[in-house]
């Protein structure tokens, strides 16, 4: 397989960051446990019915995307909201930047939005003199660290409390204790002042409802809700696929999202907002802008990757993935990490840039099994590997030889048995305590982070005739 | 209300979509039939059953970190509110302008404890009300619909007197409602929404399940990072 030096560098860096790996293993372990408990409470059969229904809803929406988007646009416009249709990320950034200029905005408060990370919105706004502040605690932490999110729902999962305290101390006049309650208390106090002086609020969009033009925001902290209540001008950025027909479909998705993401029955705050406040209302935005972003999404429609647009960004595939759990999010290189990122990144950003991510998987299928909307992620990763080879019109020479040799050996029973006899005989210089302890590259790379058991004295197929004999007797 | 403005080329935006999904423009998609059926319980409830729902709600709400009280009459209501005022050491609170809250004479209860309760709107202009609202220690809302199965308050801003700010800015949230507001879960809420609003939803509707929470630092649960840290549900018997 061909791994770009940049990816190799990223995952080597990740593998040497023990604090990050410990934090990620702890975080993903907890989220997996909470999700399992939530599913157990629902019952496996009913959970499967939830997943089937959710898949059907998402497929239906994607197959009629134009109609639902048209309906949404008309409803938002009718209710006094403005809509920007952005074919590319640049178009979306330009629209929001011009709006900020027009409003002479100095203070912009954001709630978590993966699309805004995708289109590099913050640097563009800061370049024109706006102070952009992330209000989600995890997002704020990584903003202070000058990093990108490492997990879809827990963006600062890789940081420990001491690292967070250092970041907070850099913006505080006083020394903040490293107790988590104190750190959260400081964040509340610091960000509260910012909330009260918002010029423009920017939110993401969990789901938009076509039949009412309502935007749904889900946060456990309540930051999105404060932003939508206090911003005189509110901008919501949505990937064009984040749409549902109406309230009934939303209830299915909200139930799945919370349970899959954190094991909750529902996210603490789910807000449905139809945009511009009515004349006599005093809170809520006076001006509402919905920016609908394509940025490569429409190219997936009608292809074998179409189902990737079903994703509801719950992050459960990350927590299930043995590769993500061992390298964390930053090794993936773009906005979306884990199995979903390994599919989205090459599809949205190009095979030349991120095709290698298709190899950052064991193809174990844990991601597909975890996905609440049944996206066949590991099949897609396999397909992407095929596409990469097809696109490049060649595999690596060493890889070609290795696979041809493997194929020739394993196609014949006698050659297979001969090869394992030889391997067993000649492995002894490499074995220590029944494990392969040394080896040439690429085995040496593997051995740095994992154990490889030595070949046993007898394989199953060698034991089986004896076992079978005993059984017959 | 003035019509909004569309920016961007609608035709160009939809061309790739339509080309790839191969559907003609102007079609109407048939919805997935009854998407909620079988997933959520759908019961018609009488008063007795709603009292059972109250127990379910109290269980869920307290599991989430809230406090809940069953209240038989106005005297008990006064006692519980005074207890909360003392527990949270409240001096200033604000409430929704809602006819049901009006009936409960909450201002008198607050006045008895030397605390003040203001009714929304606090002032007419943003620059005047925002400072006052931010200084409030508690917000009181009417729990318009309440989902027992998930321990969730459903708060549609059905009139200008019922803003989101009251339920999210102060550290303490107090929701008052009767057992008549209780439904099983989403099925009951969606039914009521359809009957009341159709697709013309209120400007803001909020579903609140417990206090604000985060696990962003080391996955340790911390309560009250942005929204309410202390949440109280005061459930009155129907007819109180």
Q: If you write DSSP's letter for every residue of A439-472 in order, what string do you get?
A: -STTHHHHHHHS--BPPPSS-HHHHHHHHHHHHH
Cβ–Cβ under 8 Å, residues A283 and B163 = yes
Q: Provide mean pLDDT across the span A306-315.
A: 97
Among chain B residues, the shortest Cα distance to A27 is held by: B219
Contact B61, B175 (CB under 8 A): no
Q: Name the residue among B7, B206, B220 with its Cβ closest to that of A180.
A: B220
**Region A280-309 average pLDDT:** 96
pLDDT at B148 over 90: yes
pLDDT per position as a tens digit, A14-32 = 999 999 999 999 999 999 9
Residue A397: pLDDT over 90: no
For residue range B176-223, list pLDDT tens digits in order: 999 999 999 999 999 999 999 999 999 999 999 999 999 999 999 999
Q: Provide the CA A158 distance to its chain's centre, in angstroms.
A: 14
Find out whether A138 and A159 touch, Cβ atoms under 8 Å: no
Say yes or no for a CB contact (<8 Å) between B218 and A86: no
pLDDT for B26 equals 63
Please give the pLDDT value at position A244.
98
Alpha helices (runs of H) in A43-88, residue ranges in sequence order: 44-63, 65-78
pLDDT tens, position by position, B6-55: 999 999 999 999 999 987 666 666 778 889 988 998 877 888 888 899 99
Contacts of A255 (CB under 8 A, 6+ apart): A50, A265, A266, B39, B186
Mean pLDDT, range A43-55, rounded to an integer? 96
CB pairs under 8 A between A and B: 294
Predicted interface score ipTM higher than 0.90: yes
Residue A276 DSSP one-character state: S
The residue in chain A having the minimum alpha-carbon distance to the alpha carbon of residue B171 is A188
Q: Is the peptide bond before A442 cis (omega within 30 degrees of 0)?
A: yes
pLDDT of residue A428: 84
Query: Do B140 and B166 meet the contact criterion of CB atoms below 8 Å apart?
Result: yes
Query: Would you call A56 exposed, middle or buried from its count of C-beta atoms within 10 A (0-12, 13-18, 19+)?
Result: middle
Distance CA A316, CA B139 (A): 35
Specify the range with the lowest mean pLDDT, choosing from A149-163, A219-233, A439-453. A439-453
Q: Return d(Cα A319, Cα A32) in angstroms, integer.
A: 6
Q: Is the pLDDT reported for residue B240 higher than 60?
A: no
Say how far apart CA A455 and CA A428 lie, in whole Å.
10
Give the mean pLDDT of B104-115: 96
Q: What percent of chain B has pLDDT over 70?
A: 96
Are B126 and A282 inside 8 Å of each other by CB? yes
Which chain A residues contact residue B149 at CB under 8 A? 265
Q: B218 and A281: CB-CB below 8 Å? A: no
Interface test with B, best of A41, A62, A246, A247 (most B CBs within 10 A): A247
Pairing of strands A131-134, B182-183: unpaired
pLDDT at A389: 86
- In Å, how far is A229's CA from the nearest CA of chain B? 6
pLDDT category at A466 given cuts 50, 70, 90 is confident
pLDDT at res. A325: 95
Of B28, B193, B210, the CB nearest to A268: B210
- For A81-133, how does the pLDDT look when each residue is reduced to its tens digit (9 = 90+)? 999 999 999 999 999 999 999 999 999 999 999 999 999 999 999 999 999 99
From the list B8, B204, B225, which residue is nearest A271 (CB)?
B204
C-beta atoms of A211 and B199 within 8 A: yes
Of A70, A137, A229, the CB nearest to B225: A137
The mean pLDDT value for A141-162 works out to 94
Tokens for A335?
A: 């906005």
Query: Are A262 and B224 an interchain contact pair (Cβ–Cβ within 8 Å)?
Result: no
> Average pLDDT in the B136-162 region?
96
The pLDDT score that the predictor gives to residue A4 is: 64
The C-alpha torsion from A64 through A69 and A70 to A74, rounded to 10°, is 150
When CB atoms are compared, the residue of B13, B202, B208 closest to A294 is: B13
d(CA A375, CA A55): 8
> Closest approach of chain A CAs to the CA of B89, in angstroms?
19
On the question of pLDDT at A151 being above 70, the answer is: yes
Q: Residue A237: which of A418, A344, A405, A94 has the closest Cα?
A: A94
Residue of chain B nearest A140, judged by CA positions: B216
Residue pLDDT, tens place only, B36-47: 988 998 877 888
What residue of B is the nearest CA neighbor of A297? B17
Torsion sign over Cα B116, B119, B120, B124: negative
Find chain B residues with C-beta within 8 A of A79's C-beta. Answer: 1, 4
- What is the structure's pLDDT at B45? 81
Report residue A441's pLDDT band, with 50, 70 and 90 as the boundaries.
Answer: confident
Task: Tell me the chain B residues in contact with residue A222 when contact means C-beta distances shorter than 8 Å.
Answer: 168, 212, 225-228
- The predicted model gives A391-402 an average pLDDT of 76
**pLDDT of residue A1 exceeding 60:** no
> B154 by DSSP, 3-state: which?
strand
Q: Does residue A216 have a pLDDT over 90?
A: yes
* Segment B140-167 mean pLDDT: 96
Tell whether the model's pLDDT for residue B164 goes beyond 70: yes
Percentage of chain A exceeding pLDDT 90: 79
What is the residue whose two structure tokens read 């106090």? A189
What mean pLDDT value characterizes chain A? 93
Task: Give the best residue of A47, A277, A282 to mutate against chain B (max B CB count within 10 A).
Answer: A282
Closest by Cβ to A276, choosing from B1, B22, B120: B1
Report whether pLDDT(A64) > 90. yes
What's the confidence (pLDDT) of residue A443?
79
Q: How far apart are CA A259 and CA A223, in angstroms?
A: 20
Residues of A in contact with B1 (CB under 8 A): 79-80, 276, 278-279
| DSSP line for A288-342 | EEEEEE-TTSGGGTTSTTGGGGG-----HHHHH-HHHHHH-SGGG-SSS-HHHHH
Please state, in angstroms and rounded to a whole number, the distance separating the CA atoms of residues A155 and A148. Answer: 8
Separation CA A10–CA A29 (nearest Å)? 23
Do B118 and B160 form a contact (C-beta atoms < 8 A)?
Answer: no
Judged by average pLDDT, the poorest of A193-202, A219-228, A316-325, A353-362 is A353-362
A191-212 average pLDDT score:
97
Residues A333-360, mean pLDDT to the nearest whole number: 94
Helices (H) then strands (E): counts for chain B? 8, 13
Backbone angles phi, psi at B182, to 5 degrees: -80, 135
Mutate one of B20, B226, B228 to test the A interface: name it (highest A CB count within 10 A). Answer: B226
Q: CA A228 to CA A135: how far, in whole Å?
A: 12
Least confident range of A46-60, A214-228, A432-446:
A432-446
pTM: 0.92
Q: Which helix (H) or strand (E) holds B128?
A: helix B126-135
Check residue B239 and give its pLDDT: 66
Residues of B in contact with A167 (CB under 8 A): none
């Amino acid at each position: 397989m061909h791994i770009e030096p940049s990816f190799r560098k990223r995952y080597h860096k990740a593998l040497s960051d023990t604090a990050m790996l410990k934090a990620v293993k702890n975080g993903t372990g907890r989220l997996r446990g909470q999700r399992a408990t939530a599913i157990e409470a629902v019952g496996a059969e009913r959970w499967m019915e939830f997943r089937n229904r959710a898949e059907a809803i998402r497929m239906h929406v994607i197959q009629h995307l134009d109609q639902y988007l048209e309906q949404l646009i008309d409803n938002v416009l009718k209710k006094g909201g403005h809509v920007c249709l952005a074919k590319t990320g640049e178009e979306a950034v330009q629209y929001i930047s011009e709006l900020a200029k027009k409003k002479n905005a100095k203070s912009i408060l954001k709630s978590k939005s993966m699309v805004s990370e995708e289109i590099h919105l913050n640097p563009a706004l800061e370049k024109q003199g706006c102070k952009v502040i992330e209000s989600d605690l995890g997002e704020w932490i990584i903003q202070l660290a000058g990093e990108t999110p490492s997990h879809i729902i827990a963006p600062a999962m890789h940081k420990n409390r001491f690292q967070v305290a250092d970041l907070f101390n850099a913006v505080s006049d006083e020394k903040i204790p490293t107790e988590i309650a104190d750190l959260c208390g400081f964040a509340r106090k610091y960000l509260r002042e910012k909330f009260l002086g918002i010029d423009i609020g920017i939110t993401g969009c969990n789901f938009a409802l076509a039949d009412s033009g309502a935007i749904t925001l889900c946060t456990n902290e309540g930051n999105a809700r404060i932003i939508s209540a206090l911003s005189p001008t509110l901008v919501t950025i949505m990937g064009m696929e984040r749409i549902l027909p109406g309230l009934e479909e939303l209830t299915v998705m909200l139930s799945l999202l919370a349970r899959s993401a954190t094991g909750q029955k529902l996210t603490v705050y789910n807000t449905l907002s139809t945009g511009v406040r009515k004349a006599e209302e005093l809170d809520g935005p006076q001006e509402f802008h919905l920016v609908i972003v394509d940025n490569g999404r429409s190219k997936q429609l009608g292809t074998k990757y179409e189902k990737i647009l079903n994703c509801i960004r719950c992050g459960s595939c990350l927590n299930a993935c043995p590769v993500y759990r061992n390298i964390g999010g930053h090794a993936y290189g773009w906005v979306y990490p884990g199995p979903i990122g390994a599919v989205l990144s090459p599809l949205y950003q190009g095979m030349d840039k991120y095709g290698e991510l298709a190899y950052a998987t064991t193809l174990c299928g844990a991601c597909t099994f975890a996905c609440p909307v049944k996206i066949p992620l590991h099949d897609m990763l396999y397909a992407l590997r095929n596409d990469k080879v097809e696109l490049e019109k060649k595999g690596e020479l060493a890889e070609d030889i290795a696979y041809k040799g493997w194929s020739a050996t394993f196609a014949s029973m006698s050659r297979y048995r001969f090869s394992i006899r030889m391997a067993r005989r000649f492995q002894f210089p490499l074995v220590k305590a029944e494990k392969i302890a040394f080896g040439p590259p690429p085995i040496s790379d593997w051995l740095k982070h994992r154990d490889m058991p030595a070949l046993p004295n007898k394989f199953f197929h060698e034991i089986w005739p004896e076992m079978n004999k005993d059984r017959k007797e | 209300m003035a019509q909004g403005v569309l920016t961007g080329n609608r035709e160009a935006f939809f061309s790739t979509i339509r080309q790839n999904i191969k559907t003609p423009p102007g079609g109407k998609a048939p919805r997935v039939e009854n998407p909620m059926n079988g997933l959520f319980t759908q019961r018609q409830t009488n008063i007795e059953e709603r009292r059972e729902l109250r127990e379910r709600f109290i269980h869920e709400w307290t599991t989430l970190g809230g406090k809940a009280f069953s209240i038989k009459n106005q005297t008990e209501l006064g006692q519980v509110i005074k207890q909360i005022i003392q527990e949270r050491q409240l001096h200033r609170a604000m409430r929704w302008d809602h006819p049901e809250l009006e009936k409960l004479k909450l201002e008198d209860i607050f006045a008895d404890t030397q605390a003040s309760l203001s009714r929304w709107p606090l002032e007419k202009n943003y620059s005047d009300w925002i400072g006052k609202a931010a200084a409030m220690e508690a917000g009181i809302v009417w729990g318009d619909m309440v989902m027992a199965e998930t321990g969730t308050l459903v708060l549609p801003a059905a009139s200008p007197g019922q803003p989101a700010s009251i339920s999210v800015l102060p550290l303490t949230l107090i929701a008052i409602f009767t057992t008549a507001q209780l439904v099983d879960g989403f099925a009951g809420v969606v039914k009521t929404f359809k009957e009341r609003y159709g697709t013309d939803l209120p400007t803001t509707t909020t579903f609140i399940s417990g206090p604000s929470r985060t696990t962003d630092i080391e996955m340790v649960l911390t309560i009250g990072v942005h929204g309410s840290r202390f949440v109280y549900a005061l459930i009155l018997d129907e007819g109180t």
